[in-house]
Amino acid sequence: MKNEGGHGPCRLCRIELENVGVTAGSDILLRDVSFHIHCGQMTALVGPNGAGKTTLLRALLSQTPHTGRIRHVDADGHLFPDPRIGYVPQQLPFDKEMPVTVRDLMAGALGRRPVWTGVGKKMTARVGDALRETQAEGLINKRLGALSGGELQRVLLAMALAPLPDLLVLDEPVSGVDQNGLQLFLQTVSNLRRTHHLGILMVSHDWALVRDYADYVILLNKQVLKTGTPEEVFASLEFAETFKTETSFPGGTP
């Protein structure tokens, strides 16, 4: 399979979840969850608080034990043993008064040398290349505590893309980001998906964002209630029943 930008073969074709379950003592966190995540698509995972979205991400990232199967499959239908998964969290907790720059943060993530020994020219160039992917190269010398919400998310996105992953996971990535930062972040993600044919899984409560950017939606509440296009899921009885107690929808009415 070739990506749309002509950057070579897509390593990963899809991720298959089959009857995935997670329990904590006697509590069922996930039950018989089955769906596919496809290369080149943005899949949105939606559901109420406590639906198991974070638990599902942890299972995908091999951070929590689960029953069922999670299979990574290449374009020829063969199992893909060691996929790279990039992860962008909702926020990065840190002391905003620390004199740490974007270059320091990324050099620490990309390299093996302690940052306090200094960041050399080669590592600085590598950091600059990574930031360029997310239109954030101008932030390289900026202190972390001085970044806006949107700027920080683009830096975290750059970290998740170095090296280029087979699946990009976005966990409420634009929560608290202003409108300008939101649009730039989403345009960057869309460009990356088109250029590199990435598979993207995005957790979001912003229905307008999901409607405008997602190709496929999974409605989860400990089990899969509905799948389909944003229009199909938002118009479904399952969606209405799941969110019937909400008087208004985050990000606008779907």
In the numeric block, the tokens 């930062």 are attached to 181
Domain edges within the chain = 93-163
Distance CA 127, CA 141 (A): 11
Q: Sorting pLDDT into bands at 50, 70 and 90, what band is 115?
A: low
In the numeric block, the tokens 């996105």 are attached to 157
The whole-chain average pLDDT of the chain stands at 87
pLDDT tens digits, one per residue of 154-212: 999 999 988 888 899 999 888 778 777 788 888 888 888 888 888 899 999 889 889 99
Q: The pTM is what?
A: 0.85
Check if the beta carbon of residue 220 is closer than 8 Å to that of residue 51: yes
pLDDT at 59: 95
Amino acid at 33: V
At residue 91, does pLDDT exceed 50? yes
